[in-house]
Amino acid sequence: MSQRVLVTAGANGIGLAIAKAFAADGARVHIADINAEAVAAVTGAFENITGTVGDVSKPADVDALFEDIKKELGGLDVLVNNAGIAGPTAPVEDYDAAGWAAVVSVNLSGTFNVTQRAVPLLKQSEAASIITMSSLAGRFGYPNRVAYSTTKWGLVGFAKTLSMELGPFGITSNTIHPGAVDGPRIMSVFEGRAAASGRTVQEEIDNAMNNQSVKKFINPDDIAALAMFLAGPHARTISGQLFPIDGDSKAAQ
C-alpha cells in the first residue's frame, strides 16, 4: 500500500523537494502552505499531490487542513513538519518582541498544532513516522537570530518527547538539521552580506565554506532522500535522533 504523506510548507524549497520525492515513489502526498499560487502550481503539476492553503499557527486553518487530509488521503502514515520562518536579524537587546512571538507561533506552536491533530491518524498506521525539520541552528547558538535558534532547538526536545510517547505505537520521530541549502534563498543571503560588508558575493560564500569540512551547499534532493529513508522500512527502529546534513559545519553562521 502506498504511503500517505503530509508535508507542511510543501509548495517551495525543501518541502517541495520532499513532496516530489515521496510522490515519485508512489506515495499520495498532501501539502500545506500559505502560498496559494504555489499550492495551485504544485497540485496542478502532480496528480498524486493535493494541497491546502493555510497557516499552521492558526488552529482554524489546521482544522481545515485535516478535514482535507481525511477527504484526500483517508489516513496518514508520514508527517513531515517543515513549516517555519526565520524572523528578524538583531541582537537580543534590540530584538523585536512581535518578531519573537511570530517565530515561536509558527515554528513551535504551528508544529505542535499539526502534530497533535496528526497523531490519532498516525496511530492507525502500521508503520508511521514523524520527521521534523530543525536546522544547523538547532545544534549551535546563532548570533542575532535568537528566536530562530531557540525554536529550532525546541523542536529537538519536541521530537524526542514524541519518540518516547509514540514509540510504543510503532511511530518513529526524528529531526533533520540542514545546513546552507543550495538555491535562490541562500544566494540572497550572501548578496545581503556582501552589500553590508563590502566584500564580493564569492568572498562571502568562501567565508561560509570555511565553516564546513565538506565545501558544498546542501542539495534539497538529498534532504528529501534522507526523509524518505527515515520514513521507510529500514528505519523502523531509528527514533529520537538528530540527523545533521550540513557538510560537517562547526557553527551556525
Among all residues, which ones are annotated catalytic? 148
Output the nine-digit C-alpha cell for 47.
496528480
Q: In what order do the strands lie in the sheet with 172-178?
A: 49-53, 28-33, 4-8, 78-81, 129-133, 172-178, 242-245
**For the chain, how many residues are written?**
253
**How many H-runs (helices) and E-runs (strands) does the chain carry?**
9, 7
How far is the CA of 118 from the CAs of 76, 79, 103, 130, 245, in angstroms?
A: 7, 7, 22, 9, 26
